[in-house]
Amino acid sequence: MDTKVISSGKHYSALPASYVRPESERPKLSEVSTCENVPVIDLSCTDRARIVKALAYACSVFGFFQVVNHGVSKEAVADMLRVATEFFSLPVEEKLKLYSDDPSKTMRLSTSFNVNKEKVHNWRDYLRLHCYPLEKYVPEWPSNPSSFKDVVSNYSKEVRALGYRIEELISESLGLESPRMPRVLGDQGQHMAVNFYPPCPEPELTYGLPGHTDPNALTILLQDLQVAGLQVLKDGKWLAIQPIPDAFVINIGDQLQALSNGKYRSVWHRAVVNADKPRMSIASFLCPSDDALISPPESLVEEGSVAVYRDFTYAEYYKKFWSRNLDQEHCLELFKNSRNPAAGSDTSSSILKTS
């Protein structure tokens, strides 16, 4: 039986044709090396100025970093991973009750990325949830496994607090007062993608997620400690991010790139798959409120110049993002201020095809 998802228990001995990338777009896994110098920021450090400095470096040079001693409890993380594994182990008929390929749904199980827009599919199933405000969205979440709602609510709250704290530190690292970013971003939405990548018969031919940047403000990613798969583009090369215990990977999203007037980078990243083991990752996205005006503070725009990107609302941006395929040019490119002569174009999307 063919099902809509790949976490169906079915064993695949070859990759179905609809997942096979053309030769020039394949991940070339043997050429990928491990990123040896990912910034790791210890949030329990009592020297705040030191954290702020480390963040400025991480956000401008890398666009991502890992955090440890971040305040999210070990129990919350362990429970989240357990309930996510239990969910994807449910019988496929049970999971399919939640299936939808409509990106406007606030709770759905889906597969790949945007099945109705993309030409080639990706080796991923995912459960996508809205997590804020909890009272509004928890009632529509899965009730099987029975602890799902409690566990995911608790995890979402803890991760949200961490995200706000990081945004405050990011404000400071840009020379702004700490409430600036969270204030500009409004009452932020919060989404979660529970990503499940089953073992893949031919991992060299496809992706879990192809290269993309995250359209939101800040992403807090919990990676499977046992199975690596996240890679980021740095200086034109794809580098693997080794999971480290009790850490989150944080990446700057498109909105913080725009708000920082391009000083901080929303980096290209991707998830690759492997033949041996299933991989789980849990991405929490902080998203500006729909009506938040994304416009950099004057202090970050050079005198006599205009901002790199024109002003827009998050609602406008998000609509544009989901109307496209994932591995096209940086969505922010479509919002460039043509009056900014310094605005060079992001050439990464051509790198995605050729490297």
Residues binding ligand OGA (CB under 6 A): 193, 195, 209, 214, 221, 223, 229-230, 269, 271, 281, 283
234 binds, among ligand OGA, Ni ion, none (CB under 5 to 8 A by kind): none
When CB distances are held under 5 to 8 angstroms depending on the partner's kind, the choice from Ni ion, ligand OGA, none that residue 193 binds is ligand OGA
Enumerate residues 6+ apart whose C-beta is below 8 A from 346.
329, 330, 332, 333
- Tell which one of 158, 214, 254, 346 touches Ni ion (CB under 5 A): 214
Of 152-160, 194-202, 211-219, 235-243, which part binds Ni ion (CB under 5 A)?
211-219
User: 172 or 214, CB closer to ligand OGA?
Assistant: 214
**Is it true that the peptide bond before 145 is cis, omega within 30 degrees of 0?**
yes
Question: Cis peptide before 288, with omega less than 30 degrees from 0?
Answer: no
- Cβ neighbours for 302, distance < 8 A, ≥ 6 positions apart: 342
Query: Is the Cβ of residue 44 or residue 328 nearer to ligand OGA in the bound state?
Result: 328
Provide DSSP, 307-346.
-SB--EEHHHHHHHHHTS-TTSS-GGGGGB-TT-TT----
Structure tokens at 318: 């998000």
Supply the DSSP symbol for 99: B
Tell me which residue has its CB nearest to Ni ion: 214
Measured CA to CA, the distance from residue 223 to residue 166 in angstroms comes to: 18
Is residue 327 close enough to count as binding Ni ion by CB under 5 A? no
- Among ligand OGA, Ni ion, none, partner that 25 touches (CB below 5 to 8 angstroms by kind): none
Q: Which does 308 bind (CB under 5 to 8 A by kind): Ni ion, ligand OGA, none?
A: none
- Interface region with Ni ion, contact rule CB under 5 A, candidates 16-24, 65-73, 213-221, 291-299: 213-221
Q: How far is the CB of 209 from Ni ion (least distance, A)?
A: 7
Binding site for Ni ion (CB under 5 A): 214
